């Protein structure tokens, strides 16, 4: 259960209640990223920079890249109709985090898009052969590689 925010507050980056709407998967991922970045800004006490190579670099040089995913994705590509969400990593960001001895802040969202769990992991602990290539895009890491899987 998510407990890191004071008084159980939830950061809504839109300034209005969340509602159900039809969105493309790209728009949903963008929305999920905004939620995770708003959470990171609240935790760090400073806003993150979505347009930079890395989301957060403080004055002491601590580098953090915020990654989010939703617990379950609806898809027609599997017989059950759902699959576990994935954190999408990029080679250029990963190599920069390694160079700066930085971290990933992984934020797992529940089915409604609210933060369910968050974990800060050193980039050096994330091993995937494609991340050695700075041109690698969309290297998927299933959320159960970061958080223990709950009963499905």
Q: pLDDT tens for residues 42-95? A: 888 888 887 788 888 776 778 999 999 999 888 777 777 788 999 999 999 999
Q: State the CB neighbour count (10 A cutoff) for residue 122.
A: 12
Looking at residue 59, its pLDDT comes to 65
- Angle CA 5–6–7, to nearest 5: 115
Looking at residue 45, its pLDDT comes to 83
Looking at residue 152, its pLDDT comes to 52
Looking at residue 23, its pLDDT comes to 52
The burial of 17, by beta-carbon neighbours within 10 Å (0-12 exposed, 13-18 middle, 19 or more buried), is given as exposed
Sign, CA torsion 71/75/77/80: positive
Q: pTM for the whole thing?
A: 0.77
H/E element holding 82? Answer: strand 82-84
In angstroms, rounded to a whole number, what is the distance separating the alpha carbons of residues 87 and 81? 19
């Amino acid at each position: 259960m998510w407990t890191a925010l004071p008084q159980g507050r939830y950061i809504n980056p839109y300034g209005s209640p969340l509602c159900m709407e039809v969105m493309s998967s790209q728009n949903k991922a963008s929305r999920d990223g905004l939620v995770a970045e708003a959470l990171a800004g609240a935790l760090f006490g400073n806003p993150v920079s979505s347009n930079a190579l890395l989301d957060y670099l403080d004055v002491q040089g601590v580098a953090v890249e915020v990654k989010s995913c939703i617990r379950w994705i609806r898809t027609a590509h599997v017989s059950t109709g759902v699959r576990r969400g994935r954190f999408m990593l990029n080679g250029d960001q990963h190599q920069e985090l390694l160079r700066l001895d930085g971290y990933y802040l992984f934020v797992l969202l529940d089915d409604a898009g609210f933060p369910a769990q968050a974990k800060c992991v050193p980039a050096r602990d994330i091993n995937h052969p494609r991340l050695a290539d700075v041109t690698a895009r969309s290297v998927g890491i299933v959320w159960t590689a970061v958080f223990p899987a709950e009963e499905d």
